């Protein structure tokens, strides 16, 4: 551990740390453009120059390894002069069009020019101009502003795993871009915008929308997939304008997917802003009381067994708690939070990502079963790539299921159950890899679990986990990858059929037959609505999607940006997001709607505040008592041995950009679908 002195302060840093990191350790701020903690070191912007004793000239601190006995000065006149010189060079070709630049106000170059700019330029010659690049529907380019820090080049190569960006040509002709016209075909491309320290890469959908100082910033949790990415929602007035990542090393590091970032424009379209009741086949706008009255008229006196509830994919835990309790009061055991029909549940270890996302960093072999991780959870895919690229030993990946475009080297083993059995029996080559691995893991996706033979698949997967030592005292490499933000929370709360209750598909069948008369859809849109023709459908949600079309009563709820909500991600990590804006029109927070309805039905739920609901959640599951943490789940027996169907595992996400009502309503996501998804029209149906 080298010890060095920074401005007279002695610091000790880890071996392999850079001088820049040592300076930060000493509390000194070092200006930088090209250096980024999560990318490789380029050392080309020269902004981080510091003075080092016995060195003939200033050194780039980001690329200089810290060594014992170094004496560093970060605030000497020499340093100031050197950085001012670098800044002057950087500004030679920079257009200084800050007033019309979207980066203005959050621009590293702007900020650092305040500290190191020399106020005027000595450069009288013509500035160079660079042709803008067309990078697709997400990233807007104004390449003249580029200072060649190559952060975008390193990100696309290292994290996203798509070699689109490069630094082409040379010297003063250097340009950053793809050389040939090519969009950045990555689910993580939006992160380039955050990474760009200047206004060269900015957000296309957000262009000329707002200045950063106008925005209210609210911490929230993403619901577009089951990763639970930590996000910051930027809003102005009643409008959500953009979503940015929040750093959480255990979950999303510093990245978010393009869907997380850009689906929010869907929140402005097809919103349910007031209650509706269907009268003579047509939906009519009514007041809340009238809507509740309509439900009461149908429900009162009805046998609880004839009532059912299905929760959708983006629902918060608070509203599921309220609805579960209401169903209990109405005497209905028919409730399900798995609208895709996957009957996962039971012991907690059987339905969460036990190794945790950061656990991927430690794994040394991974078997992926029935999951197109790149489409289902791009953030986890980037984590797998990070592990694969890291130098801490080999990371072998085997894939069973549909073949998909990974961003890491892998062995494609086969399409379905047969291959899975072969791995278990040791007939597959990959069995040897798992055997040799110290910390092997299996990731089993919904593609393998939303089938009728799920119990057998689960049992086989469990057997593989046992056989290859995936579950030891410390390490649990049995992982289920969910696609829905609400799923694990629903399972933790027990939003599943009670004694003698029906699960999603049975509810639908019973409704088609008329055995179930009232179906309460809590944001559930991805089910077969044609089976609900006979039933009285109550739809509670924010978006006018399939569920609202089939509804007899619509109760307008809040979108995830409009409520304080708790979500449990695929790891089983409970996280809370805050309300950024108020719900549109007459819409209300969802748990409050259910609470109000319970009053109207004469079955008053015993909570009047968010805190009270959350206490109830803790009663239902201790998971909600320890927020932001993953509680280790007890390894248990689950699954049921049996015959597995020969069909290959089909991934449930056909189009990454459109998976839920919000992203389906989003214009940006529609553009991305058009640009990046092959057979977009065909896949939209699926």
Partner 1 sequence: MSHLRRPAPRELQPISFAFSPENMEKAKKIIAKYPEGRQQSAVMPLLDLAQRQTEGNWVPTVAMDYIADMLEMPAIRVYEVATFYTMYNLAPVGKNFIQVCTTTPCWLRGSADVVKTCKQELGIDIGETTEDGKFTLIEVECLGACVNAPMMQVNDDFYEDLNADTTKSILEALKKGEKPKAGPQIGRKGCEPIEGPKVLKAFCGCGAADQSADASEGEA
Three-state SS for 51? Answer: strand
Q: Tell the smallest beta-carbon distance from residue 196 to partner 1 (Å).
A: 18
Of 98-106, 163-171, 559-567, 587-595, the segment contacting partner 1 by CB under 8 A is 163-171
Among 49, 165, 243, 380, which residue sits at the site for partner 1 (rule: CB under 8 A)?
165
CB 520 within 8 A of CB 550: no
The answer to whether residue 129 forms part of the interface with partner 1 (CB under 8 A) is no
Q: Which stretch binds partner 1 (CB under 8 A): 134-142, 159-167, 253-261, 414-422?
A: 159-167
Nearer to partner 1, 20 or 139 (CB): 139
Residues in the chain, how many? 686
φ/ψ (deg, to 5) at 442 = -125, 135
Residue placing its CB nearer to partner 1 in the complex, 114 or 180: 180
**Which residue lies nearer to partner 1 by CB, 407 or 576?**
407
Shortest distance in whole angstroms from residue 551 CB to partner 1: 49
Closer to partner 1 by CB, 16 or 163: give it: 163
228 touching partner 1, by CB under 8 A:
no
Beta carbons within 10 angstroms of residue 684's beta carbon: 14
| CA–CA distance, 337 with 117 (Å, rounded to integer) | 57
- CA angle, corner 110, sides to 105 and 112, nearest 5? 125
Per CB under 8 A, the segment of 166-174, 184-192, 376-384, 654-662 that binds partner 1 is: 166-174
Q: What share of the chain is helix, strand, coil (3-state, %, to 5)?
A: 35, 20, 50
The answer to the question of residue 356 lying near partner 1 (CB under 8 A) is: no
Integer CA distances (angstroms), 409 to 173, 305, 404, in order: 35, 51, 12
Comparing CB distances to partner 1, the nearer of 57 and 170 is: 170
Counting other chains too, the contacts that 459-463 makes at CB distance below 8 Å and 24 or more residues apart are 459/638, 459/639, 459/640, 459/641, 459/642, 460/417, 460/420, 460/421, 460/424, 460/639, 460/641, 460/644, 461/369, 461/420, 461/639, 462/350, 462/637, 462/638, 462/639, 463/424
Q: Is 331 in the site for partner 1 (CB under 8 A)?
A: no
680 conformational bin, left if phi > 0, alpha if psi -120 to 50, beta if neither: alpha
The reply on whether position 260 binds partner 1 by CB under 8 A is no
Site for partner 1 contains 143 (CB under 8 A): no
DSSP letters along 421-459, please?
HHHHHT-SHHHHHHHH-SSEEEEEEHHHHSSTTHHHHHH
Query: What is the smallest separation between the CB atom of 170 and partner 1, expressed in angstroms?
Result: 5
Helix/strand/coil (H, E, C) string of 559-586? CHHHCCEEEECCCCEEEEECCCCCCCCC
From the CA atom positions of the chain, what is the Rg in Å? 27
CA pair distance 248, 635, nearest whole angstrom: 27
Does 160 bind partner 1 (CB under 8 A)? Our answer is: no
Q: Which is nearer to partner 1, 123 or 179 (CB)?
A: 179
170 near partner 1, judged by CB under 8 A = yes
* 422 binds partner 1 per the rule CB under 8 A: no
Among 18, 21, 103, 164, which residue sits at the site for partner 1 (rule: CB under 8 A)? 164
In whole angstroms, how close is the CB of 179 to partner 1 at the nearest point? 4
As a three-state string, the secondary structure of 135-162 is CCCCEEECHHHCCCCCHHHHHHHHHCCC
- 178 belongs to the binding site for partner 1 (CB under 8 A): yes
Smallest distance from partner 1 to CB 189, Å: 15
> Is 173 one of the binding residues for partner 1 (CB under 8 A)?
yes
The CA-based dihedral angle spanning residues 448, 453, 458, 461, taken in that order and rounded to the nearest 10 degrees: -70
* Interaction of residue 157 with partner 1, rule CB under 8 A: yes
Among residues 167 and 548, whose Cβ is nearest to partner 1?
167
Pairwise CA distance, residues 68 & 22, whole Å: 11
Q: State in angstroms the smallest separation of the CB of 392 from partner 1.
A: 17
Candidates 27, 118, 169, 208; binder of partner 1 (CB under 8 A) is: 169
By CB under 8 A, how many residues form the interface with partner 1? 14
Q: What spatial distance separates the first Cα and last Cα of the chain, rounded to whole Å? A: 56
Q: Which is nearer to partner 1, 165 or 251 (CB)?
A: 165
* Residue 380 touches partner 1, criterion: CB under 8 A: no
| Min CB(177)–partner 1 separation in Å | 9
* Binding of residue 163 to partner 1 (CB under 8 A): yes
Q: Choose, by CB under 8 A, the member of 65, 85, 117, 166 that binds partner 1.
A: 166
Binding to partner 1 by residue 519, rule CB under 8 A? no
Which residues are at the interface with partner 1 (CB under 8 A)? 157, 162-170, 173, 178-180
């Amino acid at each position: 551990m080298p010890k060095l002195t920074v401005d007279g302060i002695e610091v000790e840093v880890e071996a392999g740390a850079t001088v820049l990191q040592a300076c930060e350790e000493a509390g000194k701020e070092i200006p930088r453009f090209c250096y980024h903690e999560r990318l490789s070191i380029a050392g080309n912007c020269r902004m981080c120059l510091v003075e080092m004793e016995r060195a003939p000239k200033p050194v780039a601190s980001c690329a200089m390894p810290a060594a014992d006995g170094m004496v560093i000065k970060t605030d000497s006149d020499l340093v100031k002069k050197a950085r001012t010189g670098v800044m002057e060079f950087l500004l030679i070709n920079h257009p200084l069009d800050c007033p019309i630049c979207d980066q203005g106000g959050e621009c590293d170059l702007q900020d650092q020019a305040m500290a190191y700019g020399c106020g005027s330029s000595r450069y009288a010659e013509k500035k160079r101009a660079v042709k803008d690049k067309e990078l697709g529907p997400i990233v807007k380019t104004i390449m003249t502003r580029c200072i060649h820090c190559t952060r975008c080049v390193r990100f696309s190569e290292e994290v996203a795993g798509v070699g689109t960006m490069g630094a082409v040509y040379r010297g003063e002709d250097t340009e950053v871009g793809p050389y040939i016209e090519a969009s950045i075909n990555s689910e993580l491309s939006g992160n380039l915008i955050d990474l760009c320290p200047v206004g060269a890469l900015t957000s296309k959908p957000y262009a000329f929308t707002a200045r950063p100082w106008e925005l209210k910033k609210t911490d929230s949790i993403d619901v577009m997939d089951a990763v639970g990415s930590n996000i910051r929602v930027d809003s102005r007035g009643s409008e959500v304008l953009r979503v940015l990542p929040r750093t959480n090393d255990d979950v999303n590091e510093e990245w978010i997917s393009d869907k997380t970032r850009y689906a929010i424009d869907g929140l402005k379209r097809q919103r349910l802003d007031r209650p509706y009741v269907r009268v003579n086949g047509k939906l009519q706008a009514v007041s809340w009381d009238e809507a509740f009255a309509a439900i009461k008229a149908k429900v009162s006196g009805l046998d609880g067994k004839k009532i059912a509830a299905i929760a959708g994919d983006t629902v918060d835990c608070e509203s599921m708690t309220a609805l579960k309790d209401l169903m209990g009061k109405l005497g209905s055991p028919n409730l399900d939070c798995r609208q895709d029909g996957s009957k996962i549940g039971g012991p907690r270890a059987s339905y969460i990502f036990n190794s945790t996302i950061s656990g991927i960093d430690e794994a040394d072999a991974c078997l992926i079963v029935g999951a197109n991780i790149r489409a289902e959870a791009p953030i986890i895919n980037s984590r797998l790539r990070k592990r694969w690229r890291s130098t801490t030993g080999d990371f072998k990946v085997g894939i069973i299921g549909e073949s998909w475009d990974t961003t890491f080297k892998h062995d494609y083993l086969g399409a379905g159950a047969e291959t899975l059995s072969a791995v278990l029996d040791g007939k597959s080559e990959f069995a040897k890899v798992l055997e040799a691995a110290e910390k092997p893991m299996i990731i089993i996706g919904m593609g393998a679990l939303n089938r009728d033979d799920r119990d057998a698949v689960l049992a086989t997967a469990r057997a593989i986990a046992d056989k290859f030592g995936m579950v030891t005292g410390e390490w649990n490499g049995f992982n289920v990858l969910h696609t829905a933000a609400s799923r694990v929370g629903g399972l933790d709360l027990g939003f599943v059929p009670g004694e003698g209750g029906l699960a999603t598909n049975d509810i639908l069948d019973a409704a088609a037959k008329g055995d179930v008369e009232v179906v309460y859809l809590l944001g559930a849109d991805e089910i077969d609505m044609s089976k609900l023709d006979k039933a009285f459908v109550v739809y509670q949600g924010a978006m006018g999607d399939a569920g609202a079309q089939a509804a007899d009563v619509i109760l307008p709820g809040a979108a995830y940006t409009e409520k304080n909500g708790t979500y449990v991600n695929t790891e089983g990590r409970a996280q809370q997001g805050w309300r950024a804006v108020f719900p549109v029109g007459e819409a209300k927070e969802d748990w409050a709607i259910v609470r109000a309805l319970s009053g109207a039905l004469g079955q008053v739920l015993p909570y009047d505040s968010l805190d009270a609901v959350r206490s109830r959640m803790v009663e239902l599951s201790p998971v909600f008592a320890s927020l932001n943490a993953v509680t280790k789940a007890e390894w248990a027996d689950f699954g049921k041995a049996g015959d597995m169907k020969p069909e290959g595992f089909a991934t449930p996400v056909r189009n990454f950009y459109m998976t839920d009502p919000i992203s389906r309503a989003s214009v940006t996501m529609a553009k991305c679908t058009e640009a990046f998804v092959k057979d977009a029209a065909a896949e939209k149906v699926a």
